[in-house]
Structure 1
Amino acid sequence: MDDYVTYQAAGADTGKVEIALQRIVQLCKGTFDFRDSIGKPAIPIGHFSGVIDIGDGRAMAVKTDGVGTKVFIAQEMEKYDTVGIDCVAMNVNDILCVGALPISMVDYIAVQEPDPALLESIVEGVVEGCRQAGVTLSGGEIAIMPEMIRGPRENRGFDLVGMGVGIVSKDKIITGDTIEEGDKILGLVSSGIHSNGMTLARKAILGKFGVDEYVDELGRTVGEELLEPTNIYVSEIREMLDSGLDLRSLAHITGDGFLNLRRVSRDCGFKIDNLPKTPQIFELIRKHGPVSAAEMYQVYNMGVGFCIVLPADEVDSAMQIAEKHGKGCYEIGSTFKDPEKTVILEEPRLRSAGSQFVEY
């Protein structure tokens, strides 16, 4: 195990983040009494989006996220018009998880140098993401920070963050509190690495392959594969909800992988026993890191970008809707009673232990 490359060793110490979050969450909770009606949180912190009361039986989902070090790949490839899609995806997919309809985005772009062509290209990607998600881009901010923002290409350093909002009836908020034993888990396929674990991916493979190097297993260059935009799941999930399907839990599989299934209110476990074939990019990272199976599954989506928990008799209807919208969909597992909220991956024989996977 000591020979394996880890996310922490690559420079992303999520353990320290967890420690910080314990205190940060308490600080956030201290603000809840600042509002006694409109603006008061409608669900606890810890779900995929914050949700606040906006009156008249409605609530607003609020989310902010960025694309991390995927911006480095964009700089190395000198291709800036797709990371905006990722920025939108990271926000709207999380908004979906509480049952909300994403409606608008704003963005924040911090740049090393204010190059007009660079900025326009980035925002073109954001606009394309908004088109796919059916949301507006209602504003944003550009910050010029030459002392702080750096990157692999001189004067091309930038960071990209977005914030999205969505609307949901208070009685339609999804938190996983209605999950029953024996419910089925569906997995919607990812487009690849999406926007998480890029620091580990760069550590594992970019020392061995150049971004412009064609790799037979991928069928394209490493850079093209890493830059593939994150799937946006709005259209299929909204149709499932609008059609009356009983979606009991929704999970965006990002950082922490399938451990994200545990972000539910119900005391239940998740047994995953039928995963789709793992995309080649993950095999490349695992092999050339090398990276352990446990680390891979707690950092990456491993081919499943979004999970749905629903009753067994609604599986076929949900799968038909997903396929109608061009998304591969698999029945990957089921739920069971478990106060520990254990996630079991039958292959490669991993189970959750706190905030990580261990072999069993």
Structure 2
Amino acid sequence: MTGPTENQYAAAGVDTTESDAGVGALVDVLKTIRLDRTSASVLPSGHYASVLRVAPNLGVAICTDGVGSKLVVAEQADRLDTVGIDCIAMNVNDIICVGAEPIAMVDYLAVERADASALARIGEGLKTGAEQANIEIPGGELAVIPELIRGHPSPNGFDLCGTAIGTVALDRIVTGADIRAGDAIIGVPSSGIHSNGYTLARKALLEDAVGGPALGLDATPAELGGASVADALLEPTVIYVKAVLELLESDVPVGGLAHITGGGLTNLLRLVGTRLGFSIEQPLAVSPVFGLIQERARVPAHEMWEVFNMGCGFVAVVPEDRADDAVGLMLDHHPGTARIGTVTEEGGVVRVPSLGVAGTREGLRAA
């Protein structure tokens, strides 16, 4: 059993350093692709979505993502009707980060067995998510591959991914280039874990841990206020599309938009690299499920903020003098939205002073 000072995410099975190196190796190969035409790409790789020029002043934004090991919990609990929302959310929340309006997504569903009842329930979540994001699902792909997919339990295994597209005027792309020191950081609440960090979350809550014996999916620990472990783990990811589009259509200048996923608030550095930094002075309320995970697995505070969203699912960066206007617009859609901090000149660093932790592009560390 690992001690509280070790990397609990790596001990659970996900080594983010190794993953980052793997992505780097893949990208190094892909960026050597040779074309017999001029590239249509407008943005460098590494942003939340890619943008391709398709006509004068018209770009198509595209991204792809899946639900990850949250699907294991859905299989175990036999609750398949919400994970489609997560698939939509993980894609459209990335698309809007470049200022694009999502218009459609196609899904890829790989299954161990093509069970009609299960597929219909998964479809219900996709439908709900699509309606929340105001997008179409004009097609997709079903692959029955029992040689690759094994369920928890078998034969109920599946993987769910999507690829979304949106449109954006090329002169209105949001890249982070307009962010300046002194700008306000607006945080929008998450609904819980969303769709990242589930390898660690499942290890902490569903296996024997330093902080106690395994909890069952039906357990209702006091920390969750009457909700079951399954309820907490399967709470759908929030879809921020309508609120963000309203902000973009207002007269509030938006310097940057960030979907807070794996890596927590260090995602903000995708907007500015080492040019600027971020000080999180008043974090949003941390969902109780995070405290339970930290206590049971003895996860250091800095690692919790490196792995999870910790109550903040989305961020908008706006000029200081328009912070109240931005908060007011977002509050109509997402109660609890608030100003959480300020852009700083400390390049490449995210600080959470009230928690005694700081972050760099390599992750959060004790401050």
| TM-score, normalised relative to structure 1 | 0.96
Q: Whole-Å Cα distance in 1 between the matches of residues 176 and 2 of structure 2?
A: 37
Q: Whole-Å Cα distance in 2 between the matches of residues 35 and 242 of structure 1?
A: 34
Q: Identity of paired residues, percent?
A: 42
TM-fit CA distance, 1:13: 1.5
Tell me the amino acid that sits aligned with residue 256 of structure 1: G
1:345 aligned to 2:349? Answer: no
Tell me the amino acid that sits aligned with residue 322 of structure 1: M
- The count of aligned residue pairs is 357
Task: Give the corresponding residue for 1:268.
Answer: 276
**Range that drifts further, 192-201 or 21-30:** 21-30
State the Cα deviation string for residues 11-68 of structure 1 (Å, max 9, x = none): 112211111222222222223645416xx11010010111111112111111100000
CA RMSD in angstroms comes to 1.5
1:13 aligned to 2:19? Answer: no
Q: Whole-Å Cα distance in 1 between the matches of residues 152 and 25 of structure 2?
A: 34
Contact conserved, 1:322 with 1:328, CA < 8 A, in 2?
no
Tell me the amino acid that sits aligned with residue 195 of structure 2: S
Contact conserved, 1:246 with 1:310, CA < 8 A, in 2?
yes
What SS class does the counterpart of residue 351 from structure 1 fall into? strand
Q: Whole-Å Cα distance in 1 between the matches of residues 57 and 204 of structure 2?
A: 49
Tell me the amino acid that sits aligned with residue 168 of structure 1: V
Q: Whole-Å Cα distance in 2 between the matches of residues 220 and 180 of structure 1?
A: 42
Q: 2:29 aligns with which of 19, 27, 30?
A: 27
Contact conserved, 1:259 with 1:356, CA < 8 A, in 2?
yes
Q: Whole-Å Cα distance in 2 between the matches of residues 152 and 348 of structure 1?
A: 37
Task: Give the corresponding residue for 1:115.
Answer: 115
Q: 1:312 aligns with which of 306, 317, 320?
A: 320
Task: Give the corresponding residue for 1:216.
Answer: 222
1:50 aligned to 2:50? Answer: yes
Contact conserved, 1:32 with 1:41, CA < 8 A, in 2?
no
Contact conserved, 2:87 with 2:161, CA < 8 A, in 1?
yes
Task: Give the corresponding residue for 2:296.
Answer: 288
Q: Whole-Å Cα distance in 1 between the matches of residues 124 and 37 of structure 2?
A: 37
Tell me the amino acid that sits aligned with residue 272 of structure 1: I
Task: Give the corresponding residue for 2:125.
Answer: 125
Q: Whole-Å Cα distance in 1 between the matches of residues 93 and 78 of structure 2?
A: 27
Q: 1:355 aligns with which of 346, 362, 366?
A: 362
What SS class does the counterpart of residue 52 from structure 1 fall into? strand
Q: 1:249 aligns with which of 244, 253, 256?
A: 256
1:322 aligned to 2:330? Answer: yes
Contact conserved, 1:245 with 1:314, CA < 8 A, in 2?
yes
The answer for unaligned runs of 5 or more in structure 2 is 208-213
Q: Whole-Å Cα distance in 2 between the matches of residues 150 and 12 of structure 1?
A: 19
1:227 aligned to 2:234? Answer: yes
Query: Aligned pair in 2 of structure 1 residues 154, 2: CA closer, same or farther (>3 Å)?
Result: closer
Which segments of structure 1 move beyond 3 Å, counting only runs of 4 or more?
A: 32-35
Q: Whole-Å Cα distance in 1 between the matches of residues 281 and 140 of structure 2?
A: 43
TM-fit CA distance, 1:180: 1.1
Contact conserved, 2:285 with 2:311, CA < 8 A, in 1?
yes
Contact conserved, 1:269 with 1:342, CA < 8 A, in 2?
yes
| TM-score, normalised relative to structure 2 | 0.94
Q: Whole-Å Cα distance in 2 between the matches of residues 65 and 77 of structure 1?
A: 23
Tell me the amino acid that sits aligned with residue 269 of structure 1: G
The answer for unaligned runs of 5 or more in structure 1 is none
TM-fit CA distance, 1:321: 1.3
What SS class does the counterpart of residue 96 from structure 1 fall into? helix
